Structure 1
Amino acid sequence: MSSDTPGNHRPPEQATPIGEGEAEDLLRCICFKTGPPRIVGVELEWLLHDREQPHLPVPHHRLEAAATAVRALPLNAALTFEPGGQLELSSRPAESLMACINDTAADLVAVRDTLGRLDLAPAGFGVDPWNPPRRLLRRPRYDAMELVLDRSGPAGRAMMCTTASVQVCLDAGEEEPGPLGYGRRWQLAHLLGAVLVAAFANSPFRLGRPTEWRSTRQSLWADLDPLRTLAPPAQLPPRDAWAAYVLDTPVMCIRGDEEPWAVPEGLTFRDWIRRGEPRRPVRDDLEFHITTLFPPVRPRGHLELRMIDAQPGDDGWLVPLAVTTALFDDPEAAETVYRTVKPLAETAGPLAAPRNPLWAAAARDGLTDPELRAAAVTCFELALEALPRMGATEAVRDAVAGFRDRYVARGRCPADDLRELLTTDRRHGSAHPKGTLS
């Protein structure tokens, strides 16, 4: 199985080396591109399971056939495959929430139909409930990633090969301060992020057994290399914080003509610039380095919110997309939600997400945590008020309202349903609850 993931190519041999000041300037400019929020996107990861026996690993040749078939489709979204064979659809930047939803929904219909003819289904789990990590993609990038993440323990391989998410992509925001300003949106993302983890937690099983987490996926991220997965320090302005974070995080690997690529230990990008060994880095190296950093919110010109578990059902993914977009891009909702989640900073304490107490409670307790539940109730009410102003259809509003009534109003999340279903199936000797797939 081949990967279309960016960053698998060597830098141009004749490219001009990058200096430290130039790197800092580039990071400040390219990672927070400001302007009125109007563009939205979504990245959907799916585990691929056999439709009749989802608890069994899908053989490599079947995943190869699925990849070939899906790549032949005329999709709106970009299609990639993750190291464990997870399928990822990355929507094009859309001019509105509904344009993003409609394009993505059309792609998913085609993908599901194609996979169905191969007796496969995209499964909406944050973590594969049954199968251990099994890396199928053999690329220098993933060889290096595995080696680096192994230094921190087994969570890295589990993250690479058995997890799936919904990533919401929003404009960075306006230059001026205010509810749509990029500084406010950056801060909001890290506080609201814990609420999103709790509300949409959907990974309470791993390796065939229940875990202590509602979002086991989030617990795996918290166990990874802390320098690579923590949020930048909140004490600095966003541009300064991000530039320092990128330059002072160790590089994962140094690409070259020969494989495997060099995997230095403890060499920050700033050190690499200053030392110029084993070769001098260029701008392409800096951009590749950014793709090897996994904070919960990653600025790439826009903001990538990376903390939401993959969701069950055909349209479960659109609820976090709609709620998050409404809370960020509707000025009235953005102002009120900021006041709602700002007190959560006291619970978070000085540690950065995802290792602080707030994010740990969100991953472990979901909406049984009273503080997170109260915040989620307000967030969903604000989103439901804002969605008509954003042109959301009645079907989208009904999906959000249905999720609120089924989960948020009752202090529950999808993980609670999944835990009950899978635990019941274990007692009855059944290993494949088909109702949780797709």
Structure 2
Amino acid sequence: MSTREVSDREDPVVESMDQLAAPMAAGEKPREAWRIGTEHEKFVYDTADHHAPSYDEKGGIRDLLMDLTEFGWEPIVEGGNVIALKGADGNVSLEPAGQLELSGAPLQTLHETCAETGRHLTQVKTIGDRTGKAYLGLGMWPDKTREELPIMPKGRYGIMLKHMPRVGTMGLDMMLRTCTIQVNLDYSSEADMVKKFRTSLALQPLATALFANSPFTEGKPNGYLSYRSHIWSDTDPHRTGMLPFVFEDGFGYERYVEYMLDVPMYFVFRDGKYIDAAGLSFRDFLKGQLSVLPGEFPRLSDWQDHLSTAFPEVRLKSFLEMRGADGGPWGRICALPALWVGLLYDQGALDAAWDLVKDWDMEGREALRSAAPKMGLDSPIPGGGTLRDIAAQVVEISRSGLAARGRLNASGDNETGYLEPLAEIVASGKVPAQKLLDLYNGEWGGDLSKIYAVKTF
């Protein structure tokens, strides 16, 4: 999740609806300026007893952050606590229970993206080897209860943790027990954004299936392949889901603004502190009628914050965020941006991908979204067949898009190689979660503690 810093820069008051669409319109870039921003999270554990370290304990999360400063990272402080780092490779931040996230810098090629990922993993492993910490690349804690997990000292998390049980049964699980890989991508115009949004939203369940990697809860199989994805089905219906309006005629920036105005607020950030506004209306804020700040009107930074508090399968800010994938190891961290860059950054590939899904109806899209966490590639798609029937085709469309980009590394290789983990999944017919279940039911003999010996990074 976003890390907020106190800033003295000019922060204008929002005085018109046009200002609310401005961040999205400002995201428009010519093709040559399109970038790739990759985010990935991992679970931190102590190698001695596998517990999730707290913020304050010796060798815990605070110490991990501070140790990373030896690689040039600079601390970001909130309320006297180091809660993130900033540097040339983006930001290192904390999820609510200490999951460690790299929000990478905007980069031109997948070669750069994968190198950035490699640098980060090398750094955290170096610190971990020295301090007895290691990392799991999974979509959900396989064995931890909520009560066993620490809480990080970030103001917005306290507000969200209190609010989540009011609006769903699994919001706390989302915050405390899950990890994901995401990629942020650009668009050239409102029309380009719309086509990319529709195409990626329709195909997000395929990403969920290909990256499904969370089949265990509290030490046992949970009946799902991506329980992380299932958790979103009852986290908060006001800010999650497949967004049917995206597929309606006339969709664009203004319609997304209207959606966001109907998403209840979480907080307002003032003077370095978070003010609890959970459940309140941004529309009231625009009228100076927010009960926690009576008579005050929102600043543009308040709207930017609010845009980060919706969690649909694809999210729009000044770029599009792909949000359907479970956390995973290095190869799949590189494969997720490769899949979407190949599909969305070449016009021929985008057209071909849209042709695959353009006739799907909303009922079918919703049914596919519901089925994918449990059924993976066997999930039925609108019009007949399953995700398995189109998976190879989608990966090949992405491959053609990456080949057309022609971005070469120093060895003369293009970007298509980063799709190999997905090609292997499609060829085997088994998603990562199914391979973990095979181990659990086979050589592990039902002993899930053996997952800590698996190289997930």
Match in the other structure for 1:203:
214
Cα-to-partner distance string for 1:356-405 (whole Å, 9 max, x where unaligned):
21111111111122521122110112223333333356596445235323
Partner of 1:280: 297
Relative to 1, partners in 2 of residues 1:398 and 1:93: Cα closer, same or farther, differing over 3 Å?
Answer: closer
Residues 264 and 308 (structure 1 numbering): CA distance in 2 closer, same or farther, change over 3 Å?
closer
Does residue 247 of structure 1 match 2:247? Answer: no
Matching residue of 2:427? 409
Of 251-260 and 97-106, the range deviating more from structure 2:
251-260
1:289 aligns with 2:306: yes
Provide the residue aligned with 1:47 in structure 2. Answer: 43
Tell whether 2:4 aligns with 1:7: yes
Aligned match for 1:319, one of 302, 311, 335: 335
**Pair 383,276 (structure 1): closer, same or farther in 2 beyond 3 Å:** same
- Look up the SS of the partner of 2:141 in the other structure: coil
2:350 matches 1:337: no
Pair 1:29 & 2:25 matched: yes
Equivalent pair of 1:115/1:121 in contact (CA under 8 Å): yes
Q: Which residue of 2 aligns with 1:155?
A: 170
Name the counterpart of 2:132. 119
RMSD over aligned Cα, in angstroms?
2.8
What is the aligned partner in structure 1 of residue 75 from structure 2? Answer: none
Query: 1:214 Cα shift?
Result: 0.9
| SS class of match (2:275) | coil
Q: Give the Cα–Cα distance (whole angstroms) in 2 for the partners of residues 292 and 238 of structure 1.
A: 19
**1:172/1:299 contact within 8 Å kept:** no
* Pairing partner for 1:89 from 102, 114, 120: 102
Offset of residue 238 of structure 1: 2.4
Alignment check: 8 A CA contact 1:318 1:396 kept: no
Shift of residue 255, structure 1, vs aligned partner: 3.8
SS of residue matched to 2:213: coil
CA deviations 1:7-52 (Å, max 9, x no partner) are 365999x96532342443435524x424326311201111112346
Relative to the length of structure 2, the TM-score reads 0.83
What's the offset of the Cα at 1:89? 0.8
CA drift at 1:423: 4.1
Q: Is the 8 A contact 2:141 2:177 kept in 1?
A: yes
Deviation at 1:143, TM superposition (A): 1.1
1:195 Cα deviation (Å)?
1.0
Give matches, 1:132-143, under 5 Å: 132-133=145-146, 134-143=149-158
Cα distance 1:186–1:402, how it changes in 2: closer, same or farther (>3 A)?
closer
The residue identity in structure 1 corresponding to 2:61 is L
Which of the residues 143, 158, 177 maps onto 1:130?
143
Tell me the alpha carbon deviations over residues 130-160 of structure 1, each in whole angstroms, 9 at most, x when there is no partner: 1123242123211111122121234111111
**Contact 2:332-2:421 at 8 Å conserved across structures:** no
Corresponding residue of 2:369? 359
- The CA deviation string for residues 71-105 of structure 1, in whole angstroms up to 9 with x for no partner, is 43236232111111011111111122222222332
Supply the AA of the counterpart residue of 1:69: D
Other-structure match for 2:389: 374
Cα distance change, pair 119–99 in 1 and its aligned pair in 2 (3 A): same
Deviation readout 1:271-318 (Å, 9 max, x if unpaired) = 221243323222221111112221221222111111111113x32311
Q: Is this contact kept in 2: 1:8–1:141, CA < 8 A? A: no
Is residue 387 from structure 1 mapped to residue 385 from structure 2 by the alignment?
no
Identity over aligned pairs, percent: 24
Question: Match for residue 84 of structure 2?
Answer: none
- Taking the aligned partners of 2:299 and 2:240, their CA distance within structure 1 comes to 24
Deviation at 1:5, TM superposition (A): 4.4
**Distance in 2 between residues matched to 1:311 and 1:392, nearest whole Å:** 25
Q: Which amino acid aligns with 1:415?
A: A
**In structure 2, distance between residues paired with 1:304 and 1:323:** 13
Contact 2:24 2:316 in 1 (8 A): no
* Contact 2:24-2:317 at 8 Å conserved across structures: no
**Gaps spanning 5+ residues in structure 1: where?**
none
2:438 is matched by which residue type in structure 1? E
Opposite residue 268 of structure 2, the aligned amino acid is I
Change (3 A) 1:19 1:108: same
SS at match of 1:72: helix
Query: Hey, what's the Cα distance between the residues in 1 that align with 2:327 and 2:263?
Result: 28
**CA distance in 2: counterparts of 1:147 and 1:422, whole angstroms:** 35
Q: How many residues align?
A: 419
Distance 2:269 2:110 in 1: 38
Matched residues in 2 for 1:157 and 1:207: separation?
A: 15
Q: 2-side partners of 1:120 and 1:59: how far apart?
A: 12
Q: Is the 8 A contact 2:36 2:107 kept in 1?
A: yes
Residue 66 of structure 1 corresponds to which residue in structure 2? 64
| 1:320, distance to aligned residue in structure 2 (A) | 1.6
* Cα distance, 1:284–1:416 mapped onto 2, change above 3 Å: same
**Separation in structure 1 between the aligned mates of residue 102 and residue 272 of structure 2, nearest angstrom:** 31
Secondary structure of 1:166's partner?
strand
Counterpart pick for 2:252 among 230, 238, 246: 238
Matches within 5 A, 1:179-218: 181-218=192-229
Q: Of 14, 19, 22, which aligns to 2:15?
A: 19
Deviates more, 1:227-236 or 1:356-365: 227-236
CA distance in 2, matches of 1:269, 1:88: 29
Contact 1:124 1:310 in 2 (8 A): yes
Give the letter aligned to residue 115 of structure 2: N
Contact kept in structure 1, 2:184 and 2:321, CA below 8 Å: yes
